[in-house]
Amino acid sequence: MELNSSVESSLPARPTTSMTDLDSLLRKFQKELSAGTVSLALLAVLGSAGEPLYGYQIAKQLERIGGGVLAGKQSALYPVLRNLEGAGLLDSHVEPSMTGPPRRYYRITDAGRTVLHEWAAAWRATRDSVDSVLGGLEP
């Protein structure tokens, strides 16, 4: 018994995690998840749209369809939209607006549709794998 207590007392104290730390870790995790899924979600929204959409419409669709989980700052969508356009997955054009500044409308390209299907398959495989690992956890 003497040995165990001396070993335990020589171990460094384990740091405690406060609720603030837990909240911070959750926000970081959500941000990392979001970074990988926003492009897929944007392609999906534009892939299912019957017409080109501008940023606000895209953000509202994400909010409505994603139940608020994918909703974030609308301004954060524009760099992703530009990157997708730069990769040839989206096309855009600008039209004047009667109620404000001109609007940039986005539509998915044929290459974007192909990538959407590939990314969706990769997403489903990843989701299924993670769900299998998490299967034993209580909600």
- The DSSP symbol for 49 reads -
Confidence at residue 17, expressed as pLDDT on a 0 to 100 scale: 67
Residue 94: inside a domain:
yes
Amino acid (1-letter code) at residue 109: T
In this predicted structure, which of 28-32, 69-73, 120-124 has the lowest mean pLDDT? Answer: 69-73
Sheet holding 53-54, edge to edge: 53-54, 100-108, 90-97
Domain assignment of residue 47, yes or no: yes
C-beta atoms surrounding 118 within 10 Å: 10
User: Quick check: is 137 in a domain?
Assistant: no
CA gap 137, 33 in Å, rounded = 20
Residue 66's identity, in one-letter code, is G
Over the Cα atoms of the chain, what is R_g?
22
Total number of domains constituting the chain = 1
pLDDT digits (tens, 9 = 90+) for 51-74: 999 999 999 998 888 776 666 677
Tell me which residue range forms the domain holding 106. Answer: 32-130
- Identify the residue whose tokens are 């139940």: 67
